[in-house]
Chain A
């Protein structure tokens, strides 16, 4: 009996977290008003983010949704750092940061994807929320960009300025573009310049 109870609680809660995550992604993607779901979301958050269950989900690895490669599949995103000398001449440019393994570069590109989502959330930040929170979020983005750029800038003595850009690939619609596999359209989410 105890095994049955554990089984249903364990998977019942996993199902609730997963379905809620998909519903919220769907509403975000379609710009639906989530205010009507605020009470439900808060109730679920209170249920699932209590310290006991939250610790359990971290320990078991179940603190994740399964909507990856689901709604609005994320496109390829990457950071690029350009290093300039005191005359603002380009010294070098990189988007690989010295990673020796493609697997690890792919891990680093997870950060690019997360930052892209974070920047979009900042741009769509509700006016009813505390503006200081938005300020903090924007500061976080700036700090992350700065540290990524500094990591490369410190390797180059002549570097005086550096620019960090978060790019995304914008794949063509395969039904409209006959050369979809060779068309490379790139957009920038954010670009920040820093001085050393």
Chain B
């Protein structure tokens, strides 16, 4: 049974509806699909670089509003680069708190904390750790 209906085509990720102006349609030999993103999914990756780190410092990056861990590591060098997902504008997951602490052995530093807002553009944060 054939139905007269508009045809659907995906072109470069866009949905187009072709109105029915001829006879019954029949499948062509192509199709394209794209995975739908949820509003909570990142829309891309960006690079966040922390500079001027004291080697051996503990780094924790968390969502500022919830404290949920994004990533953590120990600084192996003065500069650490993180590849992070960013989100659609206005998403709270773009607002991060960056904690850097080094107090398990001399020299001791005061806890350093700052915030960053993620976007598509790469971001660099200068970490100013103060001796404690």
User: Do A and B come from the same complex?
Assistant: no
